[in-house]
Structure 1
Amino acid sequence: MSDSLLKTPLYDTHVALGARMVDFGGWSMPLAYGSQLEEHHAVRRKAGMFDVSHMLNVDIAGVRAPDFLLHVLANDVGRIAGQPGRALYSCMLRPDGGVIDDLIVYFFRSDLWRAVVNAGTADKDLAWMREQAAPFGVVVTPRRDLAMLAVQGPEARALVWAVRPAWQAGTELLKPFWGSQVAEDTLVARTGYTGEDGFEIVLPAGQAAALWADLAAAGVQACGLGARDTLRLEAGLNLYGQDMDESVHPLESGLGWTVSFKDPARQFIGRTALEQADRTRELVALKLLERGVMRAHMKVRTARGEGAVTSGSMAPTLGFSIGLARVPAGSQPGESVEVEIRNKWVAAEIVQPPFVRQGKALV
């Protein structure tokens, strides 16, 4: 593997555990430590942890920070303003409506917010945000001094409290999409990317290895990017670069719920394009009805025309293949479609996502 790849503060830990390291968005990251299947099931049944330090925490500071965020994000940050620790999911759009990135933004104070952006788009995001922030007098600061761990699963929160009991008082009553500053530069948020309960923990980089070791000693399974992908797909969650990117808008990516048109005076970047957008395509969830595994770019045939799988995999929790696909608009759950797998058209069904939530099969 190239020495030019970036490394998280937990890189040496991953190597010592014998992880299979891969290039992910320019970072050397663990794909799996042994059995990807076991890692997946650990999260569904007990608890697993992921190093997500390759994602970038970005502090957004200035008196006009709220105005900047109302302009640069498609969702309405006014919904979380004044509520310290509250989080909001949003897309950041180009003027033509294409998705620059999807991210989570936190309110700390009126003049201090934080965005968490994807690893592969971090440099692009940072440049775009700084360009848009300049007229507002807002300072955008990347926080590479921080690490980030996701601890997910039905026992995840209890196991975090077992190894960091001082954090329990500040996090026990957190609702989903809320975070708490439990120590200096340490944010514990009830968020995740797996369809399970748990925490995403941002903390000083120098403290990450000790927390990882303590969680491992408490029985939390180390998990890699492979399990993270099958877990997020079962949860029906989009992956940037596969299910959406700059070539598509959120309304054809199953993300219309993240766009707020409520205030007609709020002219966020991309609004005009979305209001005029062609809505002939949509993102749907698929369940394969025969043997086989759906993968990205496979053709999908519907009663309204052809589309393509954007994400596909075997679902370990369910025992059959599931996927997301962009197809002609107008489909409904229960409709039959076909997916081309190895030059053969295989029967599938459109279903209502998510496929799995908190360990329970929903399809």
Structure 2
Amino acid sequence: MSTTVLICDDSKLARRQLARSLPEDWDIKVEFALDGVDCIKQIKLIQPEILFLDLNMPEMDGYEVLIAMKEQGLNILTVVVSGDIQPSAHQRVLELGAIDFIQKPCSAEKLAHIIEHHGIKDKAMRERLSHSLGEQVDPDVRDIYQELTNVAMGQAGDLLARLLKVFVELPIPNVNILEVNELDMALQSIDNNAATSGVCQGFIGGGVSGEALLLLNDSSFKEIASLMNYDGELNDKVELELLMDISNILIGAILTGLSKQLDMSFSQGHPIVLGQHRDVSDLVKSNKSRWQRTLAIEISYGIENHDINCDLMLLFTEDSLKTLKFKVAYLLED
């Protein structure tokens, strides 16, 4: 049976170009939506499996379509196709549920790569991806995860602030359930144009397990060394020591903070260096086989008045979700 594909763009030319760029060997039935309002109507009417969505449209733009799809439980595999190439636009559509982002003009080669990368020609893979899109974190549970993380990262930030004698800027944690391909994209969106060094550390306890992943932008080392009163030559060995110091503080403190609030103890494995001075994609690709479906909590630390950027991700395994929900259930009781 043919796969129904919906192309939504207010430009007739853009719709036709995209349709012509789809793989010729793909058994599909292509339908069109003229704008965002029409898109929602068409999704309900024809129930497509895949949506190619423009962002800039009248009446209802692509962002609003993604929000409406979430609110109405319309779990369609969505690839955004847009001329808006701002990193914030890319990140926002992923957070709203799109599986990928393609810049206009979109070539047949780009489309083929995206389709192959996500395996969406395969029905079983599409069903698995659609299942993951439909199972979002319950808003009340998300609030609890964020509050627990707020407390724990505050403790970690306090230790870092005392060590470096600075003001640590604390963000709102980002909480999502992610499939491996979505996690890969989320990780690669972390300043993938800059050289990065990374450490990961496993943890386990009380039916919960996962990994903590710390990524430090290489431009941060000089300022960290200065704040720690190190005036010698910076080389790979020194930078590795600084990276391990920061990771020990942040990972250790945040896991301790979470374990106290969840009333469970975590045993931590030995930290593993993912690499130094490399693209994020290179750092994480060897671990993708371990990172399947995860509860991902992302924290981006910043230091006021200093060019120091540090991202910490807690990746809880799928098997941990039931235990975590049980642990936080009592906090939801009236």
Q: What is the TM-score with the length of structure 1 in the denominator?
A: 0.24
Which structure has the bigger radius of gyration? Answer: 2
Choose between structure 1 and 2: higher helix proportion: 2
Choose between structure 1 and 2: higher strand proportion: 1
